[in-house]
């Protein structure tokens, strides 16, 4: 391989890395902008200004705002799932302790990052079929996580019951958010655990 060829390869790699970095800047900025102002009230220009980038870099990574919203949502759900599963694993083998740890992790994350919470639970509905599909995928992934963390070896939970529990968790979260996170995380966790207990009976 010649020096010129090697140089082109490294320059190409550096270009790809810079592009990936700009894409991540846009995702991080959009998560904050959409969470604070609402997706429907936020434009490309606003997101780019928050990211410190010009609009041409937006179209380098995304065709339109819905694609960026989808990237924000997928990143936020992935990080939240990883955090919740880590909390369950650290709680030991008892299913109740694991359930409490997962719920506590979930609610603490919503309180720590209210803009992410609004993005995940408020701003995301009814945007496009692709975004709605991403929501369904995330709910299925959460159902899988619930089984992975709480089920005994070989045990399968009632999927309808799991769907009801997930819906209850989300509605409690929305109620809590609307109250301005008035109740302590521990209280919200213990209240929600009463619903989750149905799965462990």
Look at 3-12, 112-121, 150-159 and tell me which has the smallest mean pLDDT.
3-12
Average the pLDDT over 46-62 and give the result: 94
Average pLDDT, the chain: 91
Percent of the chain with pLDDT over 90: 77
DSSP 15-52: HHHHHHHHHHHHHHHHHHHHHHH-GGG--HHHHHHHHT
Instruction: Please write the tens of the pLDDT for every residue from 99-139.
Output: 999 999 999 999 999 999 999 999 888 888 988 999 999 99
Confidence band for 32, pLDDT divided at 50, 70 and 90? very high
pLDDT score, position 70: 94
Q: Residue 98 above 70 pLDDT? A: yes
Return the CA Rg of the chain: 20
Distance CA 140, CA 138 (A): 5
Quote the pLDDT of residue 9. Answer: 53
In order of their start, the domains of the chain are: 1-62 (1.10.10.60), 65-200 (1.10.357.10)
pTM comes to: 0.87
Closest CA to 68 of 31, 106, 113: 31
Helices (H) and strands (E) in the chain — how many of each? 9, 0
């Amino acid at each position: 391989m010649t020096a010129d060829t090697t140089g082109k390869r490294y320059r190409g790699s550096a270009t790809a890395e810079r592009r990936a970095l700009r894409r991540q800047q846009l995702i991080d900025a959009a998560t904050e902008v959409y969470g604070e102002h609402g997706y429907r009230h936020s434009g490309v220009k606003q997101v780019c200004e928050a990211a410190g980038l010009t609009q041409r870099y937006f179209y380098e990574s995304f065709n339109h705002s819905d694609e960026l919203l989808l990237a924000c949502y997928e990143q936020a759900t992935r990080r939240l799932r990883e955090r919740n599963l880590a909390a369950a694993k650290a709680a030991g083998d008892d299913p109740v302790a694991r359930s409490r740890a997962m719920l506590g992790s979930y609610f603490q994350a919503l309180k720590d990052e209210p803009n992410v919470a609004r993005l995940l639970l408020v701003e995301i509905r009814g945007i496009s079929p692709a975004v709605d599909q991403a929501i369904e995928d995330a709910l299925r992934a959460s159902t899988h996580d619930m089984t992975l963390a709480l089920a005994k070896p070989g045990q399968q939970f009632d999927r309808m019951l799991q769907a009801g529990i997930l819906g209850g968790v989300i509605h409690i979260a929305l109620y809590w958010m609307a109250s301005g996170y008035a109740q302590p995380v521990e209280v919200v966790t213990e209240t929600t655990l009463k619903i989750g207990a149905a799965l462990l009976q």
